[in-house]
Amino acid sequence: MNLNYSKANGKHHLKRALAITLAASCLLLSACDLDDTSSKDARNHQPSSLVRKSVDVSAFFSEENLRFDVATNPAGLFTANDDDTSSYSDASARQQLLALTSHNETSTMSYLETGDVNSDPIILIHGQPTQAYLWRNVMPNLPQDAHIIAPDLIGYGQSSKPNIAYTFKQHSAYLQAFIETLQLDNKPITFVLHDIGSVPGLAYAARHSDKIKGITFFESMLGPVPSFDVMPQQAQFFRTTEGNASIISQNTFIEGMLVSEEMSSHRFSDEELAVYRQPFLLEEDRDVLAIVPLEVPVFGGADDDFGNTNIELLAGNAHYLMNNPVPRLFMYANQGVLIPTGAVDTIKAAFNPGGAMTAVNMGDAKHFWQEEIPEALAQQISLWYNDL
């Protein structure tokens, strides 16, 4: 396992790149008005070529795998002293994962799979507030001589809902657990990353660069937000007690953001919406959605302290993209939400070490491309992947 960024050099080298990363990233956190969409027949059936499976990853969460001591576990995600048990600290998040094993609690991650299970894996990682189902019309159109697999992040989709906080670092630990439990790291990995799924995906790549074949990212979170002031008012509201509670009581990310015309040109059928709603029918299951606004880090630290333990994590992700010449496909769109057109040129310049980047304009898509342009998305990924 390799560590591909230096803590000493992180802030010094990253400030320029972080200025571009995600003044618009918080748009992900802005609730849009509920769109009164009409139901129509759409791409709403899971293709028969996809197989639904699940795997228990709880055995991964041991002291050996989760220890925070950089000297003995340099690829570790957790860096806080275990004496720090405050909310949202590394220590409490780490201890929650260790408790899963000591309490014999099962952590099952569900996933969709197709292609050749004996070949190099292509791992597609969804974001907020979706699940592997989002990729259902992309996966069958990717190279079927690859092992194509899309997990439901823990707490999402059909994956289990353990008693944890669902921090970005916990999601990153779960992704590593998923990869190692299925032994996907025995062959070179290609990631396809979307939305906050880029956080655990890039965190894994930055710590295991020798296992990475290539990375595709679009509409992704690539680093800390440059400043708190650039967050939309709605995103700032979601970081207050009242605002965060509304995510749970109103299921805002499903009933507002997902179906909004600002986020997607796709009109969701009743069947599709039923799938996306299913994991969050109960208010008690929406904590995984509500914590996301609190986990977004602000460069230099936020006054409300939320997300501050993730500054180094996301800065390390950006540093990895800036300095490691792993082949990457960066796709952007004219109506991009998380990565608007104004950020595209700077991303091309900052995250293209040694000419490693292929950059492609995907036209007028918005945020949920997997629903808007699944065939075109799969075709572009396939063209790039076949040249690796």
DSSP letter assigned to residue 114: E
CATH 3.30.1280.10, applies to 7-386: no
Q: How far apart are the C-alpha atoms of 259 and 54, rounded to whole Å?
A: 28
Beta-carbon contacts of 139 under 8 Å, excluding residues fewer than 6 positions away, are 47, 49, 50, 112, 114, 115, 124, 148, 150, 378
Characterize 372-383 residue by residue with b for buried, 16 or more Cβ atoms within 10 angstroms of its Cβ, and e for exposed.
Answer: bbbebbbebbbe
Q: Identify the pLDDT of residue 231.
A: 76
Q: Identify the pLDDT of residue 103.
A: 84
| Cα radius of gyration (the chain) | 19
Per-residue model confidence as pLDDT tens digits over 329-354: 999 999 999 898 989 999 999 999 99
Say how far residue 173 (Cα) sits from the centre of its chain: 12
Could you tell me if 3 and 207 are in contact, meaning their C-beta atoms sit under 8 angstroms apart? yes
Q: How far apart are the C-alpha atoms of 356 and 166, rounded to whole Å?
A: 33
Q: How far apart are the C-alpha atoms of 297 and 300, rounded to whole Å?
A: 9
Q: Identify the pLDDT of residue 12.
A: 38
Q: Identify the pLDDT of residue 7.
A: 32
Could you tell me if 295 and 167 are in contact, meaning their C-beta atoms sit under 8 angstroms apart? yes
Phi first, then psi: what are they for 266, rounded to 5°?
A: -75, 135
Query: What does DSSP say about strands 108-115 and 147-151: parallel, antiparallel, or unpaired?
Result: antiparallel
Tell me how many degrees the CA angle 207-97-10 measures, rounded to the nearest 5.
30
Q: How far apart are the C-alpha atoms of 45 and 74, rounded to whole Å?
A: 43
Catalytic (active-site) positions = 195, 219, 367
Domain locations in the chain as residue ranges: 7-386
Q: How far apart are the C-alpha atoms of 131 and 152, rounded to whole Å?
A: 5
Q: Identify the pLDDT of residue 79.
A: 64
Could you tell me if 93 and 291 are in contact, meaning their C-beta atoms sit under 8 angstroms apart? no
Q: Identify the pLDDT of residue 73.
A: 56
In the block, which residue shows the tokens 């989760």? 66
Strand partners of residue 53: 111
Could you tell me if 256 and 271 are in contact, meaning their C-beta atoms sit under 8 angstroms apart? no
Residue ranges for the chain with pLDDT beneath 50: 1-44, 87
* pTM, entire model: 0.87
DSSP three-state, residue 379 = helix
